[in-house]
Amino acid sequence: MSSSHELVAAAVATTAAAAGAGGSSSTSDQGFATPSTTAYSSRHGTEGGGSGMTAVTMNEEAGHGAESSKMAIEGGDSATHAMGFSDYIWNVGYLQAQWTDVQLVFFDQSINLHRIVLSRSPYLAQLMAPHPPGTSIRLLLPDLNITSTSIHIALQHLYNPALRLVDSSNARSVLATAYIFGGMSELVQHAYRIIRQSFSPSNIVDNIHWLGQHSTGPSISGTPASIDSPSSRGGLAFGTLDGGDGVSSPRSQSSVSGWREAAQTAPYGEWSSRLRDDMTDYLINIFPASLPEPLSSDPTLFNIYCQLPYDLFKLCIESPDLPIGTTQARFTFAKKVIAQRKKLAGANKGASGPLMEEMVLLAVGTDSGSVEITRRPKKGKTTLVKAGPGVAA
């Protein structure tokens, strides 16, 4: 069995070779193991139209039967058999690409695989259903989060567990691919855990905008998707920085949508919802708890809140769990953040500036008071024209 580094099937898969008798694994320029390019079904049948049983005598069959009986008597269990079968499928089926009957094409790469294995994925099963064995099928996945590496990892996982290949650099794309493929919930869950555990002050804003990114770009094949998937129906979108005009900032590529209501349009189902909750918890509880007092003067928290979509910013500031000492301190902090958000929004929108204006209100009349974030359409400037002779005022 090759090492985990050798088993990474994330390198460029070569195109199908001419039909031949043998198949073997190869190594890419990056040192990753890649499947053989043996043509479809190159070992099906026998030459000369024989029955295919000439190499196996009845004595050999009997020997195999006796051996199987002996193993059963000695306590051989189904787990041992399953492990042996899994190793065989991985080495002979995936690495050596023997008995292949379908070719997948994506990112100008191709890989020879097996319909019976790929059918574990509902998405791939639906894609293959109209086509006979031996067909070359182009993957049409419009989600911009999907990469060549994530496709290779997901395909490999259908043959042999590939959890060890997921890390913080590819977890987001693996989650996207595995969720859309379906049939590999353990891979989706593993990628989700890695994403959640990797949250930091330096990447939390990027993760928020990633989760809110629309999947409106071209498919990975350069043509529209032919199968309806969560991505092709439109991705999750949160509010823009200024939160009011529906025009995306250069960074987020998102349109106006509430943070709380985002689950209804989440591109990755419950995993988007979980990540949304995890990000909220990180911003309100986990990260603030790691900061020294006074929290309202911390520059890192200030910079993060300045970049949040409006709906999430409002949720965090108004949350009673945000550990800012007093209502007045919260109000002052929010006021400073809004002033900086206004500058950032103006820079993103150009000379016209944002179309919505954010405000912070301090509610009084209760024992402790409360802080509320709101917004309203920005008032246009009134131009005064001096009337002269012959000009109507």
CATH number at residue 38: 3.30.710.10
Residue 273, pLDDT above cutoff 80? yes
pLDDT band for 97, please (50, 70, 90 cuts).
confident
Residue 357, pLDDT above cutoff 80? yes
φ/ψ (deg, to 5) at 135: -85, 145
Query: pTM (2 decimals)?
Result: 0.69
Residue written as token pair 């949160």:
238
* Nearest-angstrom CA–CA distance, 159 and 37: 17
Mean pLDDT of 194-212: 94
pLDDT of the residue at 234? 34
CA dist 244 → 261, 339, 344, 358, 374 (Å) = 16, 16, 14, 9, 11
Share of the chain above pLDDT 70, in %: 61
Residue written as token pair 């050596």:
96
What average pLDDT does the chain have? 72
Nearest to 321 by CA among 357, 282, 291: 282
Q: What's 259's DSSP letter?
A: S
**Is 147 among the domain residues?**
yes
**Is 329 among the domain residues?**
no
pLDDT of the residue at 380? 61
| CB-based contact 32:6 (threshold 8 Å) | yes
| CB-based contact 136:110 (threshold 8 Å) | yes
pLDDT of the residue at 45? 35
Residue 103, pLDDT above cutoff 70? yes
Q: Which residue has the higher pLDDT, 229 or 32?
A: 32
Residue 232, pLDDT above cutoff 60? no
Residue 295, pLDDT above cutoff 50? yes
Nearest to 236 by CA among 218, 209, 196: 209
pLDDT of the residue at 235? 33
**Is 281 among the domain residues?**
no
| CB-based contact 187:176 (threshold 8 Å) | no
Residue 239, pLDDT above cutoff 90? no
Element (H, E) at 116: helix 115-118
Residue 377, pLDDT above cutoff 80? yes
The region, left, alpha or beta by phi > 0 then psi within -120 to 50, assigned to residue 147 is beta
Q: Please enumerate, as own/partner, the contacts of 360-363 that have beta carbons within 8 Å and a separation of 24 or more.
A: 360/317, 360/331, 360/334, 360/335, 362/327, 362/328, 362/331
pLDDT band for 350, please (50, 70, 90 cuts).
low
Burial class (CB in 10 A: 0-12, 13-18, 19+), 374: exposed
pLDDT band for 289, please (50, 70, 90 cuts).
very high
Q: Which residue has the higher pLDDT, 348 or 110?
A: 110
* Nearest-angstrom CA–CA distance, 313 and 327: 17
pLDDT of the residue at 309? 92
pLDDT of the residue at 62? 44
Among 69-73, 179-183, 214-218, 344-348, whose mean pLDDT is lowest?
214-218
Residue 6, pLDDT above cutoff 50? no
Which range, 23-27, 264-268, 349-353, has the best average confidence (pLDDT)?
A: 264-268
* Nearest-angstrom CA–CA distance, 24 and 36: 5
- Other Cβ atoms closer than 10 A to 211: 24
pLDDT band for 125, please (50, 70, 90 cuts).
very high
**Is 166 among the domain residues?**
yes
**Is 353 among the domain residues?**
no
Which range, 54-63, 257-266, 319-328, 380-389, has the best average confidence (pLDDT)?
A: 319-328
Q: Which residue has the higher pLDDT, 105 or 64?
A: 105
DSSP 45-98: S-GGG--S-TTS-HHHHHHHHHHHHHHHHTT--HHHHHHHHHHHIIIIIIIS-T
* Nearest-angstrom CA–CA distance, 222 and 231: 15
pLDDT of the residue at 334? 94
pLDDT of the residue at 370? 87
- The packing angle between helices 171-181 and 148-159, to 10°, is 60
Mean pLDDT of 336-342: 94
pLDDT of the residue at 261? 61
Number of separate domains in the chain: 1
Q: Which residue has the higher pLDDT, 241 or 82?
A: 82
Among 34-48, 72-86, 206-220, 368-382, whose mean pLDDT is lowest?
34-48
Give me the domain span that covers residue 165: 1-42+77-198
Q: Which residue has the higher pLDDT, 177 or 3?
A: 177
Among 157-166, 345-354, 377-386, whose mean pLDDT is lowest?
377-386
Residue 2, pLDDT above cutoff 80? no
Q: Is the CA virtual torsion 337, 342, 348, 354 positive or negative?
A: positive
**Is 138 among the domain residues?**
yes
Q: Which residue has the higher pLDDT, 72 or 1?
A: 72
Nearest to 241 by CA among 371, 377, 355, 379: 355
Nearest to 95 by CA among 83, 107, 87, 104: 87
Q: Who's near 14: CB < 8 A, 6+ residues apart?
A: 26, 34, 37, 109, 110
pLDDT of the residue at 92? 86
Q: Which residue has the higher pLDDT, 283 or 296?
A: 283
Q: Who's near 88: CB < 8 A, 6+ residues apart?
A: none
- Other Cβ atoms closer than 10 A to 112: 28
**Is 61 among the domain residues?**
no
**Is 279 among the domain residues?**
no
What b/e sequence results for 120-159 when a residue is b if at least 16 CB atoms lie within 10 Å of its CB, and e otherwise? ebebbeebbeeeeeeeebbbbbbbbbbbbbbbbbbbbbbb
pLDDT band for 192, please (50, 70, 90 cuts).
very high
